[in-house]
Structure 1
Amino acid sequence: MDSYKVPGQTRIGHVHLKVANLDKALEFYSGLLGFEVTTLYGTQAAFVSAGGYHHHIGLNTWYSKDAPPASKDGVGLYHAAILYPTRKDLAIIYDRLRRAYYPLSGASDHGVSEALYLDDPDGNGLELYWDRPKEYWEYNEDGTIIMYTKPLNLESLIGELQK
């Protein structure tokens, strides 16, 4: 292999998920998480976004209508990650989830970021997170980033709503 490196400005554009029930998926992604519906394809597919982008998440039932969730111990998507701009924004969505009694599967401090983990109604894993500013990241002597998984202090996170 040659030493090609993807350009630093490259971003992951969107994720497209197979869902069993489009209405249920839209209730979660649009109703609970707050994404805007940008396009509907009848009762089979929808695109949702933040901030007027054409779509961040595609949802469809083309091959999955009324299907059971994917097996947790099989191959496939581990989770899709949704990056929030600030810690306060992460606190706001955490508060929405908490008030809706929506279950989390985890909440972690990774040093470089803080993250909430949950499954959508179809069992697709999601990470809702914010990145700490790069000047707060820690590095090993060889230049690699120090990352870890510690419990996230949810009281501190919800305290962002008081600021």
Structure 2
Amino acid sequence: MKDSKYQVPPKTQIGHVHLRVSNLDTSIQFYCDLLGFELIQKYGEEAAFVSAGGYHHHIGLNTWHSKDAAPDTREGTGLYHLAILYPTKKDLANIYKRISQVENLRIGSSDHGVSLALYIRDPDNHGVELYWDKPKEEWPWTADGKLDMYVRPLDLDALLALAD
């Protein structure tokens, strides 16, 4: 890499994630019926594309190389988690209320200083982070002006109190 000073443009975004899943219908139920994404297109019985707000797709699901495969393991290389950014704290509260009613769905949570995050696993054991970014003015900074993120307990009762 000759030009080590190159930086990705500041407004660059991650457009979508594409997941290998073992069962397309089970994954569609998780991402659409539970998390509320819209099914945009189903490509036969092998792939589906889901999104928020009518975008062509935020999440691609496919069984091209993984139909009926064993769930993902937490060890080894690969996807740690995909992260879904909610526009408001109330939106995060509403999804928390929804997922907290699902029996046997383990939910982790953290306050990172810059964001509030919930952690769940999809039917194929992929990590899914549901989060809201705090306003930049509220982010924690060190005395010398560096970002000071942390991992602290999230007050889930206070979050739930914001839900509809």
Q: Alpha-carbon deviation of 1:20?
A: 0.1
Alignment of 1:122-137 (within 5 A): 122-137=124-139
1:97 aligns with 2:99: yes
| 8 Å CA contact 2:100, 2:107 repeated in 1 | no
AA matched with 1:94:
Y
Amino acid of the structure 1 residue aligned with 2:138 = Y
**Counterpart selection for 2:70 from 68, 71, 82:** 68
Q: Secondary structure at the match of 1:150?
A: coil
CA distance in 2, matches of 1:95, 1:89: 10
1:27 alignment partner in structure 2: 29
The within-5 A match list for 1:107-122 is 107-122=109-124
Q: Which residue of 2 aligns with 1:18?
A: 20
| Identity rate, percent | 59
Corresponding residue SS for 2:132:
strand
Cα shift at 1:104: 2.8
Counterpart AA for 1:84: Y
Contact 1:139–1:145 (8 Å) recurs in 2: yes
Tell whether the 8 Å contact from 1:104 to 1:116 is kept in structure 2 after alignment.
no
Query: Which of 39, 42, 53 in structure 2 is aligned with 1:40?
Result: 42
Q: Which residue of 2 aligns with 1:4?
A: 6
CA–CA distance in structure 1, aligned partners of residues 104 and 29 of structure 2: 13
Structure 2 gaps of 5+ residues are none
Deviation at 1:151, TM superposition (A): 1.0
Q: How many residues are aligned here?
A: 162
1:145 to 129, 139, 147: 147
Greater mean deviation of Cα atoms: 141-150 or 48-57? 141-150
SS of the counterpart of 1:126?
Answer: strand
Q: Is the 8 A contact 2:24 2:61 kept in 1?
A: yes
Secondary structure of the equivalent of 1:81?
strand
CA distance in 2, matches of 1:87, 1:57: 22
Gaps of 5+ in 1: none
Structure 1 length-normalised TM:
0.95
Structure 1: 4+ residue segments shifted above 3 A: none
